Structures are given as C-alpha cells and as structure tokens.
Structure 1
Amino acid sequence: MKISCYTGGMVQTNGYLVETADGNFLVDAPSGVAGWISGKGVRLDGLYLTHQHYDHVEDVSELRKSGVKVFAWADYSKDLTLETYGASWGLPEVSPFAVDELVPVGKREVLGMEAVIAHVPGHSADSISFYFPGEKVVFVGDALFSGSVGRCDLPGGSFELLLEGIKRDLLTLPDDTKVLPGHGPGTTIGRERSANGYLK
C-alpha cells in the first residue's frame, strides 16, 4: 500500500490516494484533488468518504465524471454537506452527486485488503473510519487529530458521542496504528492515547 496525501480547499482538507497492486482508491475529495489525480495519470477504482462535510466532497462530482464509484455511510444530503446550515455565511456550494454504495459497519474487502468500517459520529452524523489491519493504518476523517478531536458544534455534532466512538472504535486499535486525519499531520493511536488531552 502506497499512500499519498493531497491537501486543498478553503480549510486545507486532506485527501489520500491509496495505490495497491490490485488497484487504487481515494479517501475523501477536497477541492482540487481531481486535477491532482489527473496529473498523476492514476485510474481510481473507488472513492471512500469519511463524511460529507462540504470540504471533503467538493470534487466528488468531478471524479464521478470519469466513472469513479462513490462509497459512503449515507446518500448525498445538503444537510450532511452543511450547505443548508452554511449558505447564509458563504460556505461553498457542492455539486450534487450520487453515492453508488452505502457502506455498513464491519469488515469488507477493499482491493484485496481487509478493511474494518466503524461509525464514529459526533463531528458529523455520518462519520466513519476505515481501518486496514494488515497495513496498520486508519483513515479517521475529522473524528481524531494529532492532539485534538473534531469540532462538535455543527449540525449533527455531539462531543459525548464523538468521545464514545473514539474510545470504542479507535483507541482499541494497536498503538502502532498510523492515524491519517482529514486535516493536519498524521499521528498514531499510541500517541493519542497517551498525550491527547481531550481523551483523558
């Protein structure tokens, strides 16, 4: 598994390109990532959304033009993208898109690799994580950051739910699991368990 990170859009959102021997997929689609992918000449076999806040889905429609299948916890919704909430104060509009497959909690195969999907709401109602035990990496969206956690003051937010989900589904992973968040640098489960003040 080779992972490359693209960071773009108004709030510097991370999108992750994962290249494997059996194909390639993208985790989240911030503004500009479609052009970045095109410039690399990489064919995508799927796009997996950690959640649908506008900054994570701005390029979904552009990517779908090339036939990329979209996997998410829920169907597209202006409530989930925050367009309903933020239209009055200038949040970017998101081109509507179709979700090809809703992703249930539990184990599934992604390009020959075992993935474990967990629903970790609290930052948003549809937040999920993608854990690849064989590669010791978890994509967490905006649930967990290096030294912090996702904001919970947006529609669908709940600090209690977020902490419950992090402790249940993320902090139970091995210490050496690499954490790849939706913003900022990567970290590890062990580092966040021992040093993240929000989780004490």
Structure 2
Amino acid sequence: MEWKQMPLGPLQTNAYILINTKKEAVIFDPGGEGASLNDWLQKQQITPVAILLTHAHFDHIGAVDEVRDEWSIDVYLHDNEKDWLSDGTKNGSSFFMSGQTITARPAEQLITEEGTLQIGDFTFSVFETPGHSPGSISFYHKETNTVFSGDALFAGSIGRTDLPGGSQEVLLQNIHDKLLELPENTQVACGHGPVTSIGKEMDSNPFLSGF
C-alpha cells in the first residue's frame, strides 16, 4: 500500500489518500476542492471505499459531501463530534470563514472507542487523541508504518488548544501516552505542514521536551 498527501481547502489542510494494490482507497480529511479530488481519483482509476475524519473542524470537512456522494461511501467520525458536521458554530466555520458556513451531512459511522477498525482490506488502530478538539482521533496504519494524526501532532509543534473543547494538558498527555508509544520510525502524516516521524518529534519538538 501507499499514500498520497494532497493539501486542499481554505487552509490547505492535508488530505491523505491511502491506496491498496487493487486501487481502492481510504480518504482522510478531505478539506475542500471536492471536484478536483474526485477528478484526480477518476483519472488515477482509484475507487474510494471510505472517508475517515480525524476530527470535524471546518478545514477538514469541506469536501466530505461532494466526495461521499460521488462514490457512495460512508464517513467515519468520533461520536464526540457527531453533531459538528452540520453546525458551523461547533466546526468553527462561522467564526473563521467571514460569514461563510461549511457544513456536511452527519457521518454514517460513529467511532465510540479505541481499537481496531477494519474497512475492506484496510486495518487501522484507532487512538483517541483529544485536546485539539474533543473528538480528535489518530489512525495508525501498521502496513505503511504511518499514523494519520490530524491536528494532534505536527512537525515541531502540536495542535492549537484554544478552540472550544481544547486542552493543552489533555493533548500533551495523549500524545505522550499514545502517539509516542508507536515505533520511532513511524511516519506522522499531519493535518498541516510536512510529514515527520515519531522519533524526530521525540528528539526535537519543543512542546514535548521534558514532558
């Protein structure tokens, strides 16, 4: 399997397309530009089987309905944010988008606990990593040695915690207890910016030093 990073939407949020040998794919956080994403998938002859959301902030969900409808696939989201997709106040678009509200229909599949998530040939370990938002989750894909961390952990930084439901203490504890327990060579596919690794962040991330 392999994956592609594709910055999309108003804040150039990183969408990731994880592709298996049958050219099926799981899409993480399609933040916008749904027509362009669908067009690319069609040209590559890739068939999505699901959309996985690390959380439901507006910059991660802008293309959810357009992609979901094009391929008739389910959206997965943590239960703690089940009503955020349809609420511009909760997903933040009402505050940050100058009057434009970004919404989507509710998710078909709600994740309620940590554990193994199987979607066709794709297997993930799901970690609850709130702190940036109350329903933030990270998806670890052992086969590609990658954790799709959303806005929990970045290269040299962590997710902002000044939004509703945020807590720096909770976020740092979850990063320490869950993400930093992964193998040090695990790739961290972040919600914004470049890909990093667990080992690199353990060694050099100023937010994690001494925690």
TM over 0.5: yes
Cα 1:111/1:157, change in 2 over 3 Å: same
Distance in 2 (alpha carbons) for counterparts of 1:107 and 1:59: 26
- Report the TM-score when normalising by structure 1: 0.92
CA distance in 2: counterparts of 1:124 and 1:34, whole angstroms: 28
Check whether the contact 2:124–2:139 (CA below 8 A) recurs between aligned residues.
Answer: yes
| Residue 159 (str. 1) matches residue 168 (str. 2) | yes
User: What's 1:110 paired with?
Assistant: 119
Deviation at 1:91, TM superposition (A): 6.0
The range that moved more, 122-131 or 31-40, is: 31-40
Partner residue in 2 for 1:38:
39
Using structure 2 for the length normalisation, give the TM-score.
0.88
CA positional deviation for 1:43: 1.9
AA of the residue aligned to 2:33: G
1:76 to 74, 83, 89: 83
Q: Which moved more, 1:115-124 or 1:34-43?
A: 34-43
Mapped to 2, the partners of 1:49 and 1:71 lie a distance apart of: 6
- Is 1:50 matched up with 2:75? no
For residues 91-170 of structure 1, the aligned pairs below 5 Å read 92-103=100-111, 104-170=113-179
Structure 1 partner of 2:200: 191
SS of 2:130's partner is coil
The 8 Å contact of residues 58 and 103 in structure 2, kept in 1 or not, is answered as no
Contact map agreement 2:62 2:104 (CA 8 A) in 1? no
Equivalent in the alignment of 2:185: 176
One-letter amino acid of the structure 1 residue matched with residue 183 of structure 2: P
Q: CA RMSD in A?
A: 1.7
Q: Report the counterpart of residue 29 of structure 1 in structure 2.
A: 30
Q: Distance in 2 between matches of 1:137 and 1:91?
A: 36
How far is the alpha carbon of 1:34 from its aligned partner?
4.2
Q: Secondary structure at 2:17's aligned position in 1?
A: strand
Q: Name the % identity.
A: 33
- What is residue 63 of structure 2 aligned with on the other side? 59
Confirm or deny: 8 A CA contact 1:73 1:126 kept in the other structure: yes
Matched-pair contact (CA < 8 Å) for 2:2–2:144: no
Structure 1, unaligned stretches of length 5 or more? none
Q: Aligned with 1:50: secondary structure?
A: coil
Q: 1:111 Cα deviation (Å)?
A: 3.0
> How far 1:17 sits from its partner (Å)?
0.7
State the aligned residue count: 198
Segments of 4+ in structure 1 off by > 3 A? none
